Structure formats: C-alpha cells, structure tokens
Structure 1
Amino acid sequence: MKQPAPAECDAPPPVAPFHDGELAAQRRAGVAAAAAAFGGRGIRTFMPDQHRAFFAQLPLLVVGGVDGGGQPWATLRAGAPGFVSAPQPRTLDIAGGTLRGDPLEGSWRIGSLLGGLGIELHTRRRNRVNGVVASIAGDAMSVTVEQSFGNCAKYIQGRTPTPVPPQAGGAPPQRRAARLDAADRALLARADTFFIATANTSDAAGGARGVDVSHRGGPPGFVRVDDDGTLTTPDYSGNNFFNTIGNLLHDPRAGLLFVDFERGDLLYIAADAQIVWDGPALAAFDGARRLVRLRIREVRRSAAVLPFRWSAPRFAPQFAAWGDAGARSLASRAESAAVGGSATAIVSVTQAASAGRGESAEWPESSVSLKVLKASEASEASEASEASEASEASEASEASEASETPETPETPETPETPETPETPETPETPETPETPETPETPGVAGACVR
C-alpha cells in the first residue's frame, strides 16, 4: 500500500512531474502515456520512512548542482553514516562532507536547486531526492524536498567500500585542463560506472524545475573516448521518465563524474551533449536505445580524495550477454584509424561474459579477434551490418518501450539470457516487479531510471 504523506510534512499537492523537455523525449520514444501514468504515482513530494532511514545510513551522497555560470556538476559528499539525515519527510540535512576539489564548493546559496542520489553500491540500492537549499552553515546544508522517488538496481555494479585514512603529506594534487590526458583516457576506458548531472532551471518548467543527478552503468568500454575532446556513451532502457535527456533537450550542458575506485581519484568533466536518437551508430553498443555524444569543455581531476577504496566489482546481470560492447567500440576505433585501402589490423579484446560472483569476481576472459578489412570492404560490411542491427534494435525498442512499465524492468536486449537472481549479499532482486510506492517493503529501490 502506498504510504500517505505524513501530516507533519505538510506536503504540497502533487504537481506535474515532467517539464517540456522530458515530455518531448517521452513522445519521441512513444512512451508518454506510460510515463504519465507511473510518474503521477511514483514521484512523491516527500520522503517515505524507508528512504529517510536509507539516506541516514549512507557514508556518501552523490550531489548535483549548478555553478555561478549555470554549468551543472555531479559531485560526491562523504562522511560517517549519519552525516546525511532526514529529520522530517520534506527535509534532507547534509552535514558537510565536501571533498577537496569539489567544483560546486562556494556555489551553494539559499534557493539553489539540488539533485541528490543516495546509492549503496554493495547492495545495489539507490533512491533519489530533488529539492531547494533552505539554509546553509559552512558546507552544511538543509534541503527542502520537492521530488522523491526510488530507482531499481538495474545497471549497478556491486562494490564493497573500505574506509582509508587521509593521505599523508599534504593536499593531494589537482588538475584542471580543457582536454583529457593519458591518465584520464585510461580511467574512462575501464569505467563501468559514472554519474551525470543536468538541469532545467527555467521558471517555465514549473514544479518540474530542478537539477537531476543520475547513475550510469555499463560494461567497460561503454564510455567511448572518440578523441581527447569527445565521448560517446549509450542510453539503455529505463523507466521512461527521461530526466537526463529531457534536461539536455532544454540545456545541453552536462556534468560527468567518474570515480577511480582503486585509487580514490575523482574525475569531473563539463561537456555539451548531443542526443543521437537512431541510425547505424547505435549498433556499436549492444542494448543502446540512443547515444549521448559529449563534447568536453573542461576537465578537473582530484587525486586520492575519497576516504574509501572499493572491492573488485560484481557486475550487474544485465551485462552478462553484452560483453562485446567494448569489442565493437575498439573495432570501430580501429577501422577509423586504418588509413588507406591496404591497412589491416588485428584487435584482440578481452570481453566481459559473466555477471561476476563474490567480492573479488572478475569478468572471465573470452578473447575475440576482430579483423579490420580494407577500407572499402570495411565500409560496405559495416554499413550493412549496422543498418541491419539498428533496424532490429529499433523494432525491438518500439515494441518493448510501448509495453514497458517501470514496475517491471525489462531486458529486451538479451531475451535469451534471463537476468540472474541476486546473490545473498545483494538483497535486491530487479527481476521481481518493482513497487516503488510501497516503501515499507525492504530492499525495493524503486523504478529503473534513465
């Protein structure tokens, strides 16, 4: 049963949860009716008790905001469990936790829009909260909640954190640049997780005005470094809200955050986004419904600032059969690099072919050699293959998105490989129909969001 708004929270009446950009994206994908039906039920104006307890136990919080120039940034706050609390259903308090090099440090004001994502990687649980800063004391803030909703465990790689002492020897190094360097490119090439902040701060957005910060997960290679100034990443199926893409249609500026889980580095990227809705380019990424192409404007990297290190990932079951995303990306890069009709190359790719099990589980090796043909042959073969795959993906997407309901996360990309039930240490079971409006059910993280 859906938890009613407690009397003490004085929650305002529900408002339309989507702005024009989100509605336009929903219409283009053919899911406007489904999104409207679920959005009115699943997006609350207060935090249910389960969410309040969840935020209070977290050692870190993903935060999205905009700086003085309107650029969105995704950042992390970290502290002992309890540094984030929810004393009332419509109040979220953040007791500091700012990390060195945070691009939003000094930008917060009373009235600033804030997007929050509570995520517990070792259980793959996450919940969302968006609101307005009501008070500030140093780097501590109190936020009035305007939107609260759950997300499912889909696409989250499980990791167990271990606290580490502060780095000795003074402040860790920081770097600011206009382009990626070799270390940045290496981190992106192996990334399986990132966070993205977007915003619609227009008064015309009404009750849907705000900042959004979202999780993105995929197999290593799902963030393609096209050059030191451009990235491409797939947009997979989700709950059809289109919070991120809807904001980008209104304002193409995005803030990306990549975490080096082994070293504790944080890589911040400010970029302008372009949505690739269809076409042969989608075939480079298994399961992609759309692509997001990002042109980098600024890069910031803070070394060893996180007070945690994480275990090896336990990969989300959705990626067990999507192991060739990285292979295709590398093949595409190799084809582009082959200059002249006689160029031939062999690319050997270690593919991810398992969901992974246990603390130290790694993706097993399945080496696949990809031959780059002569330029003319490669072009013809690639165009025929991509056109065929894009057509099949488009037809599957239209059929599945029309029937997709957020309570039942689908996996149309791998119908032959049912999702593997969660391991004992991972209490969530995304295969079970999600019921975000019943927060009293332990472990239900809500709708799958994109």
Structure 2
Amino acid sequence: MSGYHRGEVAVQERAGLARRAASAQRAIRSDIPEVAADFLGRQPFLVVGGADERGRIWATQLTGEPGFLSVPTPDSLVVRALPPPDDPLAGLLSGAGTEEADPARIGMIAIEPATRRRMRMNGRAVRNGDGLRVDLDEAVANCPKYIQVREHRTVAPGEEGGQRHTVTDGDALSPAQQEALRAADTFFVATASDRGDADASHRGGNPGFVQVLTPRLLRWPDYAGNGMFLTLGNLELNPAAGLLVPGWDTGTSLHLTGFARTVWDVEEVARVPGAERLVEFEVTAVREVVAASPLRWSEPEFHRFNPPVAG
C-alpha cells in the first residue's frame, strides 16, 4: 500500500491537519530499517489486531523471550509465537495462509514501555511452523507521547499465587471490568479499513482518561498525535474495532470488540481536558483471560504530556 486512503484523508481534512499529515507521510514505509529490526529483536511482546471468522475486530498480544520477533528481510517479520486456542484471534492466526484460509491481514504494534519507543506495522500473515511470517505493507515509527514507563519481568507458571488460566465471556462489562477500565492508563485499539487492511495502535493517558458511560459504552479523548489519523481514518470507513486492556501487574488480558465512532461536537470535546476529539466505543462482546501473559510490569511512571483528567 502507498499513501493515505480516503478515510484517513477525510479525517485529516476535517481536523485541519492535511498539510501536517502530508509531511508525516514520509515516516510511513514498507520496510523495516536496521535500527528498528534491532529494536524488535529485544521485545517480549507484540500486540496484534485483526478480524475473527465472524468479521469482528479484536486486539490481542503474543509473547516470547526476546528474539521471538525477527526481521529476515527488510519487508518481512517473523513471529515465533501463536495464540492459545481460547484467544479471540486464534482461528485467524493459527490458520493463516493454509489451504483452508487466505493470508491474514493484521495490524501490529511493538512497544517498549521502558524507553517509550514503539513500532507500528501492518501486513499479511501466513503460518510459519509454530509462528507467523508477515509480509509488510506499512511500517511506522511512532512518537513516544502518552506511553507510561514500565519495566518487565517474566514469571514461571504457578508463581505468584498460582493463578489458573481461565476465560470468561460476556456481552457487557462486569463491575470489576468497569473498574479496571476506569483505572487504566493504557490500552490498544485495533481497526480495519473498508478493504479489510488491519491496524493496531496505542492509547495512553492518566488513570480516568477512559470513561465508562454504561456497561456497554466507553468514551476516551483523542489527544494531539502525529496527524496521520490511521485509526480514526479506518473508523471513518468501517466502525468495527477491538480493544486490548492489559493487566500489567496480573497478566490478565481484557479483550473487547464492538463499534466505534469519532465525536466532533465542539461543546462535548471542550469538557474533556486535552481532547481534540472524542471516541465512543459500543461493546458487543467481552473476553477476559486470566493468566494470559507471563509478563509482569512495574508501577508506571506517567508521561509528562498526559493531559489532566477531569474529576
């Protein structure tokens, strides 16, 4: 792919940032430079977004020892991991590119909280042994804004009280899940264009930046960013979206799927500090996986550019 699609252009123009977006487009490439390949090789997790067999968009994470991500050629990424069978994207990723399925169109983001670096990639994945090989369409090195500093460690199965791997499904947020979202300082959002090209991105802020309006409706501010509007551009064409809310200190993954829309109303936006727009997300399905990840992270050091949260 090359250039912005019509949804991205429409949002850029409505936001009055078309000129800035044209300049930022130089950061979008179809290959991974050597310095970025070294960065990817150090990471213990990768966030992946895509569509399940019913067309619902989800975001999930794959984990492994540093080195589980590698760049054999500048335009491809090898991921030596697959999701467990109860992951919402297990069917998409485990069967990608087999006789029964086409390559999976996925969005990915690798993020290093300790250094506030991140790399965003989109492409077509095929099964490669016990992992994936992704032929890249886009690679973007994003800015460090709104990333909270954290250090990680890996726990062995049964460590820290022996949490068992359990899965809970629902069609709305439980009270505990609502509280987890109100306390969240980070989540990941997956979207796709009307052609099905997927994307995964990061959203961060001070705790409370995600508002739980009802058990099925969330809202968060869209803060100043790089002006590309890759996420909002997809939503302009296709409202389907998925969220991953990681339990940084527990290893729990909270997966949400549903539909999102951008709120441009000036009076509504003005009520939220730092917001340039708002995004509302309607929840249609929830999957919570306990002990989904072996990674445990330290308490956050919040980014100094995080806007305040209204009381």
TM-score scaled to structure 2, two decimals? Answer: 0.93
- State how far apart, in whole Å, the 1-side matches of 2:239 and 2:77 are: 28
Give, as a single letter, the amino acid of the residue that structure 1 aligns with 2:166. P
TM-score scaled to structure 1, two decimals? Answer: 0.65
Partner in structure 1 of residue 100 of structure 2: none
**Larger relative strand fraction:** 2
Change (3 A) 1:160 1:251: same
Give the CA RMSD over aligned residues: 1.6
The structure 2 residue matched to 1:82, chosen from 67, 75, 78, is: 67
The answer to whether structure 1 residue 28 and structure 2 residue 19 are counterparts is no
Q: Which runs of 5+ in 1 are unaligned?
A: 1-14, 203-208, 328-450
Q: Offset of 1:97 from its aligned partner?
A: 4.6
The answer to whether structure 1 residue 315 and structure 2 residue 302 are counterparts is yes
* SS of equivalent residue, structure 1 residue 187: helix
The answer to whether structure 1 residue 193 and structure 2 residue 193 are counterparts is no
* 8 A Cα contact 1:161 1:309, kept in partner: yes
Residues 130-177 of structure 1 deviation map (CA, whole Å, 9 limit, x = unaligned): 1112x3145511011111110111000011111111237695121000
Q: Which runs of 5+ in 2 are unaligned?
A: 98-102
Change (3 A) 1:87 1:279: same
Partner in structure 2 of residue 388 of structure 1: none
The structure 1 residue matched to 2:138, chosen from 142, 147, 154, is: 147
Partner in structure 2 of residue 45 of structure 1: 30
Give, as a single letter, the amino acid of the residue that structure 2 aligns with 1:178. D
- State how far apart, in whole Å, the 2-side matches of 1:315 and 1:268 are: 23
Partner in structure 2 of residue 119 of structure 1: 111
* 8 A Cα contact 2:188 2:200, kept in partner: yes
Give, as a single letter, the amino acid of the residue that structure 2 aligns with 1:189. R
Residues 199-257 of structure 1 deviation map (CA, whole Å, 9 limit, x = unaligned): 0151xxxxxx6211000001111100001110010001111111000101111011001
Partner in structure 2 of residue 174 of structure 1: 167
Q: Offset of 1:99 from its aligned partner?
A: 4.7
- State how far apart, in whole Å, the 1-side matches of 2:32 and 2:285 are: 35
* 8 A Cα contact 2:11 2:233, kept in partner: yes
Q: Offset of 1:38 from its aligned partner?
A: 2.6
* 8 A Cα contact 2:170 2:286, kept in partner: yes
Partner in structure 2 of residue 336 of structure 1: none
- State how far apart, in whole Å, the 2-side matches of 1:21 and 1:216 are: 20
Which segments of structure 1 move beyond 3 Å, counting only runs of 4 or more? Answer: 167-171
Give, as a single letter, the amino acid of the residue that structure 1 aligns with 2:137. E
The number of residue pairs the alignment matches comes to 302
The answer to whether structure 1 residue 56 and structure 2 residue 41 are counterparts is yes
Residues 303-322 of structure 1 deviation map (CA, whole Å, 9 limit, x = unaligned): 12210111110000112xx3
* 8 A Cα contact 2:194 2:234, kept in partner: no
- State how far apart, in whole Å, the 1-side matches of 2:73 and 2:55 are: 30
Give, as a single letter, the amino acid of the residue that structure 2 aligns with 1:152. C
**Larger relative helix fraction:** 1
* 8 A Cα contact 1:100 1:305, kept in partner: no
- State how far apart, in whole Å, the 1-side matches of 2:169 and 2:134 are: 30
